[in-house]
């Protein structure tokens, strides 16, 4: 059975020496929510979850310092400035040409030997921690401006699943860095008035959860903003099919207080993402017909997910958008992993109004709090 590294306890984490501010690489457990400028929104959130004691697949981040140093030493930053100067966000053809040229430069230039060695050694240590030779990892972009007020850069950079081997990890790290300059990302920064140098990128290298089911969870209802419920969407395989909208996932609405399932919709799920063991890569495949209308996650697992969602929401003090996976290599009760948690940015920005009107008695007050999602103590 595949063994995942255990999450260190809080005392161990607090006693670890803090990496230097200009370190090119840090482990997730050495980060927290205050490290966005160093490791981007995604990796800093993963570190914060580990400090909470939430189950998170282990990994490390190439910091914004390390990524910027690579671009500078490779002589790419000056080229980026020249190629992006004067671009019109409406001129799709020129945007695509500039993006293709910049991405080709980044992906073709070698990293400094010191940075290559640091990434290769960290990947070796990660494989040892997970007791898996050449551990399969997700290589994930983590920008410093993913969830800013009035501008959302989330989803504009690339993520690569089931990457194995040090050489492949290095290749996909460069591809993640180059995705900072997709035509879409360049145009968005111009429209929003951001200088390209204002948005830096970090790259996370994280042990893949070998998911038989995965999906997303909101700690409010994304359709109507109801904070008294938690919504879970799921499909077989990796969560890519749910996040990208390629399938209509199974849909569950859970009472945030009792953790009972209030609504359930089992969809016909025709496609899922999983690993091709022969090619050792992530592929989209058709779900067998007899499984397409089978519920993709058990009721007990939904309740545990909702409980974890409540903990994460309480810690951050606001509604959250959470990605999760159930690892097929681990036994029930310890196989649910959180892959990402970020603030929900649509309904949570709106003022909360009581659905029950003005409270005139203790019962009215409790009912109003439950309906609005307010914690009653």
Angstrom distance (rounded) from CA 354 to CA 360: 13
Q: CA 266, CA 161: separation in Å to the nearest integer?
A: 26
Examine the fold and report which residue of 191, 207, 223 is the final residue of a domain before the chain moves on: 207
Q: In the prediction, which pLDDT does 157 show?
A: 79
Which DSSP string do the residues of 111-148 spell out, in sequence order?
A: PPHHHHHHHHHHHHHHHHHHT-TT--EEEEEEETTSSB
Do 172 and 231 share a domain, yes or no? no
Query: Is 4 inside a domain boundary?
Result: no
Q: Are residues 239 and 171 in the same domain?
A: no
Three-state SS string over 40-80 comes to HHHHHHHHHHHHHCCCCCCEEEECHHHHHHHHHHCCCHHHH
Last residue of a domain, one of 189, 207, 225: 207
Closest by Cα among 188, 125, 126, 122 to 155: 188
- 280-314 per-residue burial string, b: 16 or more CB within 10 A, e: under 16: eebeeeebeeeebeeebbeeebbbbbbebbbbbbe
**367 and 229 in a common domain:** yes
- Quote the pLDDT of residue 352: 56
What phi and psi values does residue 137 have, to the nearest 5 degrees?
-130, 160
- pLDDT by residue for the chain (377 residues), tens digit each? 343 444 444 455 555 667 777 899 999 999 999 999 999 999 999 999 999 999 999 999 999 999 999 999 988 888 888 999 899 999 999 999 999 999 999 999 999 999 999 999 999 999 999 999 999 999 999 988 654 444 455 556 789 999 999 999 999 999 999 999 999 989 988 888 888 777 889 999 999 999 999 999 999 999 999 999 999 999 999 999 999 999 999 999 999 999 999 999 999 999 999 999 898 999 999 999 999 999 999 999 999 999 999 999 999 999 999 999 999 988 888 899 999 999 998 876 666 554 444 445 666 656 555 555 555 44
What angle, rounded to 10 degrees, do the helices at 166-178 and 64-73 form?
80
Give the pLDDT confidence score for residue 359 in this predicted structure: 47
pLDDT of residue 6: 44
Whether 109 is covered by a domain: the verdict is yes
Distance, in Å, from the CA atom of 135 to the CA atom of 15, rounded to the nearest integer, reads 27
Domain boundary residue, one of 207, 229, 250: 207
Question: Is 5 part of any domain?
Answer: no
Buried b (16+ CB within 10 A) or exposed e, 32-42: beebbebbbbb
pLDDT (0 to 100) of residue 355: 47
The CATH number given to whatever domain includes residue 125 is 3.30.1490.20
User: If you write DSSP's letter for every residue of 186-250 in order, what string do you get?
Assistant: HHHHHHHT--GGG--EEEEEEEPP-EEEEEEEESS-TTT--TTEEEEEEEEBBTHHHHTTSS--E
Q: What is the pTM of this model?
A: 0.86
Give 273's strand partners.
237, 284
> Given strand 320-327, what is the order of strands in its sheet?
261-265, 250-255, 229-236, 211-218, 320-327, 336-343
DSSP for 252-286? EEEETTT--EEEEE-----EEEEEETTTTEEEEEE
Residue 281 lies in a domain: yes
Phi, psi angles (nearest 5°) of residue 241: -65, -30
Would you state the structure tokens that stand for residue 196, as one six-digit string? 């390209």
Integer angstrom CA distances of residue 277 from 61, 164, 207, 282? 26, 12, 16, 9
Beta bridge partners of 323: 216, 340
Q: Write down the pLDDT at residue 259.
A: 96
189 and 236 assigned to the same domain = no
Residue 3 lies in a domain: no
> Residue 9 half-sphere exposure, CB side, CA atoms within 13 Å?
1
What domain range is 361 assigned to? Answer: 211-372
């Amino acid at each position: 059975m595949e063994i995942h590294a255990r999450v260190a306890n809080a005392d161990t984490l607090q006693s670890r020496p803090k990496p230097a501010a200009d370190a090119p690489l840090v482990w997730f457990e050495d980060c927290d929510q205050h490290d966005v400028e160093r490791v981007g929104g995604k990796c800093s959130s993963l570190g914060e979850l580990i400090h909470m004691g939430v189950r998170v697949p282990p990994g490390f981040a190439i910091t914004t310092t390390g990524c910027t140093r690579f671009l500078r030493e490779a002589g790419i930053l000056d080229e980026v400035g020249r190629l992006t100067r004067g671009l019109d966000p409406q001129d799709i053809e020129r945007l695509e040409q500039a993006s293709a040229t910049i991405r080709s430069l980044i992906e073709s230039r070698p990293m400094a030997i010191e940075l290559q060695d640091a990434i290769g050694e960290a990947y070796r240590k990660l494989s040892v921690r997970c007791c898996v030779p050449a551990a399969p990892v997700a290589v994930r972009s983590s920008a410093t401006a993913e969830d800013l007020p009035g501008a959302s850069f989330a989803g504009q950079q690339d993520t690569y699943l089931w990457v194995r081997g040090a050489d492949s990890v290095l290749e996909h790290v460069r591809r993640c860095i180059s995705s900072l300059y997709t035509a879409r990302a360049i145009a968005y920064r111009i429209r929003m008035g951001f200088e390209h140098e204002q948005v830096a990128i970090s790259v996370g290298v994280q042990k893949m959860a070998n998911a038989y089911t995965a999906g997303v969870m909101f700690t409010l209802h994304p359709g109507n903003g109801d904070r008294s419920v938690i919504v879970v969407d799921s499909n077989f395989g990796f969560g890519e099919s749910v996040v990208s909208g390629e399938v209509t996932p199974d849909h569950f609405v859970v009472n945030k207080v009792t953790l009972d399932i209030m609504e359930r919709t089992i969809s016909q799920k025709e496609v899922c993402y999983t690993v091709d063991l022969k090619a050792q890569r992530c592929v989209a495949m058709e779900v067998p017909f007899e499984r397409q209308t089978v519920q993709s996650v058990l009721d007990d697992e939904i309740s545990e997910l909702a409980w974890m969602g409540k903990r994460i929401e309480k810690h951050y003090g606001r509604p959250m958008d959470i990605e999760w996976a159930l690892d097929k290599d681990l036994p029930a009760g310890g196989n649910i992993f959180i892959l990402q948690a970020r603030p929900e940015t649509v309904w949570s920005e709106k003022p909360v109004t009581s659905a029950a009107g003005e409270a005139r008695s203790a019962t009215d007050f409790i009912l109003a709090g439950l309906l609005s999602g307010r914690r009653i103590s």
